[in-house]
Amino acid sequence: MGKVIRRILAIIPAVIIQVLWMCILMSWLAPYATVVSTILSICTFLFVLFIIIKRDEGTYKILWLLVLLTLPVLGAVLYLELGNKRTGLPIWKRLQRAKLDSATDCERVVEEIKKDDIRLAQTIQNLCHKTNLPVVPNEQVTYYPLGDKMYPDMITDLQSATKYIYVEYFIIAHGKMWDSMVEILAKKAAQGVDVRVLYDDLGSISTYSKKDAKKLREMGIHCHTFNPLYAIKGTINYRDHRKMLVVDGKVAYSGGINLADEYINEYEKYGHWKDIGFRLTGQAVMNYVLMFEEFWCAFCDKNDELPRRHEMQPIQIPEQKDGYVISYYDSPLRSDSISNDLYMDLLSQAVNYAWFYTPYLMLGDGLMESFVRAAERGVDVRILMPGIPDKKIIFRMSHSYYQELLDAGVKIYEYQPGFVHAKACMVDDRICTIGTVNLDYRSLFLHFENNSMFYESEMIQKLKADYEATLEQCAQMQPYDIKKYAFRWFFDGLLRVFAPLC
């Protein structure tokens, strides 16, 4: 908490200076009010035109247009600092320098998938092309319906490491889970294993400090914070929301589970914590190795570079396989919102059902329309949400989307025992995704995320069985009568205007 307060206090002088400067400037320009007003009107018009033409999410545009038309000068400054991708340019440049030149070779696998489903093969091929990561045969995957189940296996695999360990998470917090892992990481580092930890500064702002990171380095563990947040540097957008643990390039863990005790139900924070994850082995692990190493090379210090960097390997198609998997990361600095577009695509292909886990629900226009259209044409569309929220205002904003979805036939359920932090979707017993992507603006448009999509894998049935078991502990939401709740309808609409900020 002290870390948060110190950063807020550091910002206050800068805000006071800015306000004083604006007052002096307005006083000095008062005699030229007509000229200034004309110039501001022209600039506002050009700004509005720029936002309208720009390729971006519609609701996001509407929010900024309202701000600009209400407060032209302040709105323009806020847009340049918060709404425009210019603030992410330094991050983008670092990632460009760290990218591998090698092209993705997934044609053989895509041709195999085309034999079963040409339309889905096109989706997978497009995903490979845009992320520059391959779809590969899935050799073995373990599904975990709770963080409690995944944690012991993570410990076992860490203890078996002989070459390297990569740890990258949004939230790291002291407690049973992380402290027990650190004990193993320190021992492995002393044995000569290359141990590297990357965590997000904002995600861990109240749980992990520079002193903690320094202690890791003193133990021989390489540790860096992603996108440090200072008073005059850093941004609340473009956070590293990814979650992955890689051991020796043989095993990879991912899902919604961070490295904190509430994720393994060691203590109750918001009732029972429902989260999911998975463990990959085989050549599918290499995508996670490549994703971590790209970020490490982009954001670490020059004196802490990797001893060597892995490259994409030729894809081997074994005789025995459990379908296919493509693991990728989503970047807010790309022109396309990969996961948002993927979910729209999958919903358009759904025939029988499309079921989703998400802790938050704030959809852009395109994805909202995809949910509505799928339900209206008879697809069984379901969304499973928390019953006990972690952030009440965000939960209320999520509820503002319920009415339109429910009216279209989408079924929404809330998990009564506690909080759902799982992020997944499954479609027609053929495809599923599990990763870090929430169905909200931050995940879909403003953060770095990772996701794994499985095709014709046993993983789909395991996820589906868990979803059906979880539904038994849920309450189904019902639409309200707009005629009786006119104010709620108005308030919901107001909340949805500001949803892109949350």
Scanning 2-117, the segments in alpha helix (DSSP H) are: 2-29, 33-53, 58-70, 72-78, 89-98, 107-114
Task: Return the pLDDT at 1.
Answer: 47
Task: Return the pLDDT at 33.
Answer: 62
**DSSP SS3 for 126:** helix
CA 150, 156, 161, 165: dihedral to nearest 10 degrees? 30
Q: Yes or no: say if 348 and 232 are a contact pair by the CB < 8 Å rule.
A: no
Rounded distance between C-alpha atoms, residue 26 and residue 294, angstroms: 47
Q: Which domains, from first to last, does the chain contain?
A: 2-83 (no CATH), 92-120+132-323 (3.30.870.10), 338-501 (3.30.870.10)
**DSSP SS3 for 467:** helix
Q: Please list the rounded mean pLDDT of every run of 10 residues in the chain (502 residues).
A: 47 59 68 69 75 72 73 70 69 86 79 91 94 94 97 98 98 97 98 97 91 95 88 69 98 98 95 98 96 94 85 84 95 91 97 98 93 97 97 91 95 98 97 97 93 97 98 95 70 68 62
| DSSP per-residue codes, 232-267 | SS--SSS-B---EEEETTTEEEEES--BSGGGGTSS
DSSP state of 357: E
Rounded distance between C-alpha atoms, residue 80 and residue 231, angstroms: 17
Whole-Å CA distances, 182 to 83, 110, 352, 464: 38, 41, 45, 34
For 388, other C-beta atoms within 10 Å of its C-beta total 18
